[in-house]
């Protein structure tokens, strides 16, 4: 009988849900609650969108910043599983696209200095062009980013979020949402930050995607989704058409939830991750409107997520 390998899955959280807290305060909460790792948000902090949290100054990261960050992690007994900078690297505005690329490289440089294995981002999409042209453009751009990261001992991980709000008509704004597209991006040297919530609402069984792509799922996000089929009878799968200007992110018939408050079968998800050798971090991504709005409510949502997932992770 073969010997079972010890579990190395860690439960973490993405810091972007607490943009008004500094990293030290987040780390104190996370360690006290029993989280083991942080997926640290590193947007520039320009305030362009409400989820642009800036928890490490990667664009100006100094030796003093490095020492302070290492000391913070040691003090709280935590590790950083990945840096998170999810932007549209195929943005139609060349200046905006270049700025995103520059900041991505800053994140990679900081990951190298801190010994962090992954930087998470998106492929994105130029919504003025068809998919084929976007894929060709990504094939031109991303090998350079992959090479830059690889030279520094870092892997780029792409979240399979649809990012429908980036497209004026609510169509996919991040061309990494399906296994078909994963296979394409893996050929570019990219890896997957696997999130079951997005797969669920677009009609893909997330559990069925684990085994075929286990060697490329190196990090995972724990986000749930609540489906409302009755509302889908009004809008169809693509959500509101006439009222999209009110809220580009409101698809009308589903919403994100913290783990344990939606449709995802977390027991089976964890079982399959273990079965197929996943040894990375499962990072809670909190975008639940019920448990949001204030830091106090967000923390309650993170508590729910921890209580749901922690019993499923082998001690």
Given this model, what pLDDT does residue 229 score? 93
- The alpha carbon of 11 is separated from its chain's Cα centroid by a whole number of angstroms, namely 14
- Answer whether 125's CB lies under 8 Å from 175's CB: yes
Place of tokens 């690329």: 101
Helices H / strands E in the chain, number of each:
9, 10
286 belongs to a structural domain = yes
Residue 219 lies in a domain: yes
In a domain, 128, yes or no: yes
Of 60, 47, 110, nearest in space to 84 by CA: 110
Distance of alpha carbon 119 from alpha carbon 158, whole angstroms: 9
Rounded distance between C-alpha atoms, residue 243 and residue 22, angstroms: 36
- Is 194 part of a structural domain of the chain? yes
| Whole-angstrom distance, CA of residue 125 vs CA of residue 173 | 5
How many structural domains is the chain composed of?
1
Q: Residue 5 domain-assigned?
A: no
Give the integer Cα–Cα distance in Å for 10 and 314: 9
Burial class (CB in 10 A: 0-12, 13-18, 19+), 35: buried
Q: Would 3 be classed as within a structural domain?
A: no
Helix axes 179-186, 131-150, angle to 10 degrees: 50
> Mean pLDDT, 10 residues at a time, over the chain (315 residues)?
61 97 98 98 72 90 98 98 98 97 98 98 98 98 98 98 94 97 98 98 98 98 97 92 83 96 98 97 98 97 98 93
Q: Indicate which CATH number applies to the domain containing 58.
A: 3.20.20.150
CA 13/CA 6 separation, integer angstroms: 22
Domain that holds residue 262: 10-312
Q: What is the CA radius of gyration of the chain?
A: 19
Judge contact between 141 and 168, C-beta under 8 A: no
Nearest-5° angle of CA 198, CA 96, CA 292? 40
pLDDT in the model for residue 45? 78
What kind and span of H or E run contains 156? strand 155-159
Residue 6's alpha-carbon distances to 77, 88, 211, in angstroms, are: 20, 38, 19
CB atoms within 10 A of CB 228: 12
Token pair for 233: 């009878």
Any domain includes 4: no
**Residues 101, 114: Cα–Cα separation, whole Å:** 20
83 in any annotated domain = yes
pLDDT of residue 315: 81
What would the two tokens of residue 145 be?
A: 């980013």
């Amino acid at each position: 009988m073969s010997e079972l390998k010890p579990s190395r899955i860690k439960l973490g959280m993405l810091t972007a849900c607490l943009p008004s807290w500094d990293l030290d305060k987040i780390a104190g909460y996370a360690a006290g609650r029993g989280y083991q790792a942080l997926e640290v948000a590193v947007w520039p902090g320009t305030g362009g969108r409400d989820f642009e949290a800036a928890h490490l100054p990667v664009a100006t990261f100094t030796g003093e910043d490095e020492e302070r960050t290492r000391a913070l992690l040691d003090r709280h007994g935590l590790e950083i599983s990945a840096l998170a900078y999810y932007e549209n690297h195929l943005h139609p505005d060349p200046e905006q696209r270049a700025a995103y690329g520059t900041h991505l490289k800053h994140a990679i440089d900081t990951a190298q200095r801190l010994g962090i294995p992954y930087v998470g981002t998106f492929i994105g999409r130029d919504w003025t062009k068809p998919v084929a042209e976007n894929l060709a453009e990504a094939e031109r751009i991303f090998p350079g980013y992959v090479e830059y990261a690889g030279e520094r001992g870092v892997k780029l991980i792409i979240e399979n979020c649809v990012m429908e709000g980036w497209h004026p008509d609510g169509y996919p704004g991040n061309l990494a949402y399906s296994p078909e597209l994963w296979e394409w991006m893996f050929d570019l040297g990219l890896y997957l930050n696997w999130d079951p919530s997005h797969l669920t609402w677009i009609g893909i069984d997330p559990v069925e995607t684990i085994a075929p792509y286990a060697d490329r799922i190196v990090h995972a996000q724990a986000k749930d989704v609540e489906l409302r089929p009755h509302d889908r009878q009004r809008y169809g799968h693509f959500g509101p058409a006439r009222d999209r200007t009110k809220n580009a992110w409101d698809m009308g018939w589903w919403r994100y939830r913290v783990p344990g408050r939606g449709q995802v079968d977390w027991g089976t998800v964890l079982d399959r991750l273990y079965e197929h050798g996943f040894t990375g971090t499962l990072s809670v991504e909190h975008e639940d409107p019920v448990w949001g709005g204030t830091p106090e409510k967000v923390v309650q949502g993170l508590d729910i997520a921890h209580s749901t997932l922690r019993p499923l992770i082998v001690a």
